[in-house]
A = this chain, B = another copy of it.
Amino acid sequence: MVVKSQIKFIKNLQQKKYRTQNKLFVVEGIKTVKELLESTLKVHKIYVTDSTVLGLNNDFVELISEGDLRKMSGLSTPNKVLGVFHFPVPRQIDFSDWVIALDDVRDPGNMGTIIRLCDWFGITNLICSPNTVDCYNPKVLQATMGSISRVNIVYGDLQQVLGEIDIPVYGAFMDGTVVYTEQFPKKGVLVMGNEANGVSEAIENLVCKKISIPQFGAKTAESLNVATATAILLNEIRRG
């Protein structure tokens, strides 16, 4: 049986404050939990409402009632399995390949999609400004699928990091050079800005090359979403 304090503890992990304090995060759903169990992430606890789903032969798997799962879940319709995992220890950013830098990306869906894109395009390092949405936010995790375990995500002072490196810093801007004419080097940083305001002025000053995705047809659209722009730019960098 799960005690009340345990339910409260898990429920609290829906909030960034408690996640950061405990260095633990929650994922829900059979598929993602199974994928993370097979990853390098360290598991803290798994709760299941159906013993046939995962097997109970592990110390960290506990059978609970559907009522208790509902109480600890962040979903309106909980999905049989809830996993609690330890934060991975962030590694030092490796600048020997392309790195993505996020300057205050706030939408969890965008963040999740970008992490999944990094995984697809073999980008293993993602730097995020402190105001970028928390990568362990449940809505981020829902959009990343298992990719969260394969991308090294580091939060830090972008201005300091970008100021210290000696590889080219590219940035996505509405008024940059058309990306199709660009010959990308083997390594670099690509900065993607905030949904409403784009790249901040402080970071813009550190960008050595502004790039842009051209608009076609009647040119009536106002902008591209930051996640779809990242998809297109990563594809441009990798296609060569």
Interface residues of A (CB under 8 A from B): 109, 113, 116-117, 119-124, 143, 145-147, 150, 180, 213-222, 224-225, 227-229, 231-232, 235-236, 238-239
Contacts and interface: CB of A to CB of B under 8 A. Distances in A.
A121 B220 contact: no
A contact face: mostly helix, strand, loop, or mixed? helix
Given A117-B224, A119-B221, A217-B124, A235 B238 contact: no
Nearest to A120: B221
Nearest to A178: B239
A122 to B, nearest CB: 2
Given A232-B232, A235-B235, A217 B121 contact: yes
A150 B215 contact: no
Nearest to A97: B217
Nearest to A229: B231
Contacts of A113: 225, 227-228
Contacts of A218: 122, 150
Given A216-B238, A235-B235, A239-B180, A222 B122 contact: no
Question: Which among A124, A146, A216 has the greatest number of chain B C-beta atoms within 10 A?
Answer: A216
